[in-house]
Structure 1
C-alpha cells in the first residue's frame, strides 16, 4: 500500500515537470502575438497602476501647487515691501526737494531784504497749528532763548502773516492777520501803498473770511494814489509792524461808511495754509 502511494507521488511529480518544460518551451519559442492570459494580466496591471497613479499624481500636484503658491506669496511680500520702501524714499526725496526750494527762496528773500532795510530776519519752522477756527494761530520753534518777543512781526517770503502774541523759552505763538475780526488782543495794521508812502494811508482792521480778503478802511477820499493792482505794505506809523512789509494787492476800492472815507479790499500776498518756514522780523534798536 505504501509502495503504491509512493509511485503515485512520483508519477505526479513527473507530470508536473513535463508540463513545466512544455510551458517553458512554449514561452521561449517564437510567436507572432500575445496570448490572452498575458493580455489579461497586462491590462489588469495597467488598470491597477492607473488607479494608483492618478490619485498619487493629483496629491503630488496639489503639494506642488502649494509650494508654488508659497513661493509666489513670498515673492509678492518682498515686492510689496520693496514698493513700500520705494514709496517712502520717493516721498522723502520729494519733501527734501521741496524744502530745498523753500530754503532757496528764503535765502533769496533775506538777500533782497538786506538791500531794502536793516531788519534782522530769524528763520523759524512751524511746529503746530491751532485747530480752533476762531483763533488762527501757529506755533514756531523759536522762543525767549532765541530773542523772540511779543508783537514781533512774522512774514513768509511772500508777505506778512501775523505777529507773536505769546512767548515761551523754546517756542512762540503767532496770531495770523486773518484773525483781525474783533478777536481779543488783535491790533489793526497801519498800511500804505508801495512807492506812495507819503500820499496814501489806511488801516487794515478786519478780514473777510468768505472772500479771503483783508479790509482796508479809513482811506482819505482825496487819496488818488491807491487803486486796483497797487501793492499794500505796512506804513510803520502804528509802531507795531515795521515799515515796508508786504501785505497784499488791492483788488477793489469803494466808498466807506457815511461817504467820508474809502475802503479797499486787499488780497493777502502770503498763503496761510501749509506754512512750513517763516521769518520773525527783528527791528534793530536805534
Structure 2
C-alpha cells in the first residue's frame, strides 16, 4: 500500500473519531448549548417558522371555508325547521279554531231538540255575489230542501235558496229583499214580546230592517236580541237573527222599524247547520 493511501485512510479515521466525539458531546445533558449548536438550532427554527406561516395561513383559509359552508348548511336546515314550525303553528291554530267552531255548532244543534240539524261546509263563494249567497256541500240526498233555515254558531245566516242532489245554494240575510221575509220577535218577560218581520237588508246602514207589525207603546232598547218566531211555519223558533241598533219611526208615526245588526258574521262563514223542522209547516215563503 502506498504512503498516500495510508495518509488518506488515517485522515478518514481521525475524522470519524472526531465526529463520534462531537455526537457524543452533543448528546450529553447540558444546560448550555455550544455556539455551533445554537447557530444550527436558530437556523432550523427560522426555517420552520418561514415554512409554517404560509402553511398555517392556507390551512386557516380552507378551515374558514369549511366553517362557512357548514354554517350555511346549518342555517338552511334551521330555516327549513323554522318554516315547518311556523306551518305547524298556523295549522294547529286553524284546527283549534275549526274545532271550537264545530263544537259550538254541535252545542247549538243539541239545543234544537225539535229539529233535525244537517251539518255542512261552505265550498264556494262567488266574488260577484259575495254578500248574497254561498254554496254548501250538502243537498237533497242529505235531506236539504228549499227554504230551510241556515245557521252558524252565532246565529242565522240565511236560508236554502235552491238544492241539487249533492250541493245547495244558501241565500244570505244580507241578500234578502222585500220578497224574503222572516217572522221574528223580541222575547221579553211577562209576555211583553214584540213581534215583527225581518223584511230586507239595508246596505247603507249595514242592517236588517225589522218592521214591527203590532201597534204598541213598548219601547225597543238598543242591544235587544231579535230571534225567529217560528210563526211562518218554515223557520224554527228561537234562532238568533241579530241585535237592535236603532229604532226609526215612519213619517206618520204609525209604524216603527228597527235596524238590526246580524248576529253572525256574513263575511266569514265556513261551517253551517241546515235546520230541518220536524213539525210539518206551510210551504212557500215566510209571510
In 2 relative to 1, CA 234–92 (structure 1 residues): closer, same or farther, beyond 3 Å? Answer: same
Listed as ranges, the matches of 1:1-286 within 5 Å are 7-26=3-22, 28-29=24-25, 33-114=32-113, 118-132=114-128, 135-180=131-176, 187-195=180-188, 200-208=195-203, 211-217=205-211, 219-220=212-213, 222-225=215-218, 227-228=220-221, 229-236=223-230, 241-284=235-278, 285=280
Deviations 1:32-51 (A, max 9, x none): 74344433332222222222
Secondary structure at 1:53 match in 2 = helix
Is residue 196–residue 210 contact of structure 2 (8 Å, CA) maintained in 1?
no
Secondary structure at 2:112 match in 1 = helix
In 2 relative to 1, CA 133–47 (structure 1 residues): closer, same or farther, beyond 3 Å? Answer: farther
TM-score by structure 2 length? 0.77
Deviations 1:218-256 (A, max 9, x none): x35832335013322234455664444321121221222
TM-score by structure 1 length? 0.78
Secondary structure at 1:250 match in 2 = strand
Determine the C-alpha separation between the residues in 2 that align with 1:163 and 1:73.
57
Secondary structure at 2:268 match in 1 = coil
Q: Aligned residue for 2:284?
A: none
Determine the C-alpha separation between the residues in 2 that align with 1:47 and 1:17.
34
Name structure 2 gaps, 5 residues minimum: 282-287
In 2 relative to 1, CA 119–99 (structure 1 residues): closer, same or farther, beyond 3 Å? Answer: same
In 2 relative to 1, CA 206–212 (structure 1 residues): closer, same or farther, beyond 3 Å? Answer: closer
Name structure 1 gaps, 5 residues minimum: none
Count of equivalent residues: 274
Secondary structure at 1:150 match in 2 = coil
Determine the C-alpha separation between the residues in 2 that align with 1:109 and 1:32.
99
Shift in Å, 1:86: 4.0
